[in-house]
Amino acid sequence: MSWLRTRLFHAYARLRRPMTMGVRGLVENEDGHILLVRHTYISGWHMPGGGVERNEPCVEALRREIEEEAGILMNGAPVLAGVYSNHASFPNDHVMLYHVPPGIWTQGKATALAEIAEIRWCPPDDVPDGTTNGTRLRLAEFYLGQARSPYWSGKAL
């Protein structure tokens, strides 16, 4: 049933906004672990993030999303790590990935509890089963120096 809700949301978003922009945060803690979230409405482990609203700067969307999903309160500027086409998931979709290192955030309380099934801190080279391909590719690019793909999922349509 969650796939139907996701499909309906995508159809509505496509009608409302023919081009969409999303943000994801590569959030690291002092131990070098990264933050992953598992949503209640879509399968897999993802870096926290979500859609950019109209008239909302991307960095503010990131700030809002990581607080909602994991209680991460940014008190510094994240670094833009890349911009990716995500057309395999949603036509004309783009994702901006920001690096959120330790020292520019503090732990607060998540506000979107019904949206997140689970959060997990893990080493970037030991992510849980079910981690999405896009997330795995970004981690390989960021930590292992793999060549960057312009596509979030690693392939064009």
Output the average pLDDT for the chain: 90
Q: Does residue 154 belong to any structural domain of this protein?
A: no
Q: Identify the domain containing residue 123 by its residue range.
A: 2-144
Residue 79 belongs to a domain: yes
Does the pTM surpass 0.75? The reply is yes
Evaluate if residue 31 carries a pLDDT over 70. yes
List pLDDT tens digits, range 111-122.
Answer: 987 899 999 999
* DSSP codes of every residue in the chain: -HHHHHHHHHHHHHHH-SSEEEEEEEEB-TTS-EEEEEESSS-SEE-SEEEPPTT--HHHHHHHHHHHHH-EEE-S--EEEEEEE-TTTSTTEEEEEEEE-TTSEEE---S-TTTEEEEEEE-TTSPPTTB-HHHHHHHHHHHH-PPPPSBTTSS--
Position 87 confidence tier, pLDDT thresholds 50, 70, 90 = confident
Mean pLDDT over 64-68 rounds to 97
- Is the residue at 155 inside a domain? no
What is the domain count for the chain? 1
In a domain, 82, yes or no: yes
